[in-house]
Structures are given as structure tokens and as C-alpha cells.
Structure 1
Amino acid sequence: MDDQAAKGLRVTNMISIAVVLVLIIIMGVLYTLFELFLAIYILEIIMVILNIGYLFLPSVHAAFNRLKAFLIYLPCLLMLILTTVEFFRLFVSWIRYPGSYNVGTQIVCLITLVTEFAHNFTYALYARKCAAV
């Protein structure tokens, strides 16, 4: 991967993390499942710290290669599991009790969860690509 492509991937990743964090905060306020969103938020912070370390500390690239399962794939896997479970829980609840949620809240929650799932999957692919370089 050339340097320009790697830089573009890193910038895109940082922007997507920021967008997902804002959406999670909005969803947590609207949907009031604070505990779950706090867990997702903390895992996102861990991923942001790892990504910043990868961006600004070239000396740790070798360490990232050795510990990529613990530093990148495990947090990403945990986030994917949390997001998937919450997505299906919300979807089933929405189907069973259609009048119990505000439509705007439902749309924001579902869009955010799909975005979170897509972001984490993309991040896993990105991290694998960077670790291979």
C-alpha cells in the first residue's frame, strides 16, 4: 500500500469514528439504554486510542503487528458482537411493540446500529491491511 492510500484510509477511519461516536451519543440520549451505549462508547475510545497510536507513533508498528489480535481484532470483535445483539434486540422489540417507540427514535437507533456494524467491519479490514504492510 502506498503512503497516499494509507493516509487516505487513516483519515477516513478517523472521520468515521467521530461520526459514529456522535451518533451513539444521540442514540443513547434518545433511546435511554445508557449502560449499553456506555460500553460501546468505551470500546470506541479504545479503538480511537489504538488508531491514534498507529497514526502518530511509527515506532510501535512492529508491536501492533505482534499484538494485533489483542489490540485490534478483539476490541473490534467485541464491538461487533455488542452491536449485532443490540441490533436484533431492538429490531425484535420494534416488531413486537410497534407503537411503543417514537418513529424518529427507531430510525435513528437502527441507522446508528447499522452504521456501527458497518464501521467495525470496515475497521477490521483496515486494521488487517495496515498490519500486513
Structure 2
Amino acid sequence: MADRLARRQLLHPDSCPLYDQEEESIQHLLTTCVLAREFWYRIFSILGLQDRVPTAAELSFADWWRKAIKKLHKEQKKGLNSVIILGALILWKHRNGCFFYGAQPEMVVLMVLSLESIVS
């Protein structure tokens, strides 16, 4: 993401706007960022699927997603697919809020957004 913005000579972060530990990439934002992994852990714990949380060594978001839904029944896969799509969107929107509007990365905000989205 940052590299695409840089190529267009647009404002971009040098490192992850959520946790400022690594260079920003979509892979990092969605699976390997410490904040993202904690977010997934909390969401998946609610579902009793904490063993499917991404690790810091995940190769790609898509590979992790495939592993997360593997061996689930058809209806469970549909539900978990929806949770993963929604979670990725929430992480993306939170990242944009932190970068573009100066918001602080907060787990509470992520959890409130996810719970509001699920209930709506």
C-alpha cells in the first residue's frame, strides 16, 4: 500500500500506522501486525476458534484464510468467511482512520466496530 502511494507521489506511512513495527503491507495489516493478530484472537475466541488465529509467520492473508476455514462444515464456513471479510474491512477502516485522521490504534475501537457490525 505504502509503495503504491509512493509511486503516485502521495502521502504514505513509512511503517505500519497501527503498531509502527514493520513496513506497511496488506499482508502485515491483515495478519502479522500485533494489533491485527490480537483482534483476530479476540474475534475467534468468541467463536471458540482461537486455534485458527493467524501467526506472525503466515505467508499470506489468503493462505491463512483457507487454513482458517479448512475442515469446517458448509454453514460454519459461510459464517466464518463473513467474519473474516468483515474483520478485514474493520482493520482496513481503522488503519485509514489512524493514518488519515490521526486516530489512535485501539483494540476497544476495533471490537466495538466489529460487534456493532455483527449486530446490525
- Report 1 or 2 for greater relative contact order, CA contacts < 8 Å, sequence distance ≥ 6: 1
Q: Name the TM-score, length of structure 1 as normaliser.
A: 0.32
The structure with the largest alpha-carbon Rg is 1
TM-score calculated relative to the size of structure 2: 0.35
Query: Which has the larger share of helix?
Result: 1
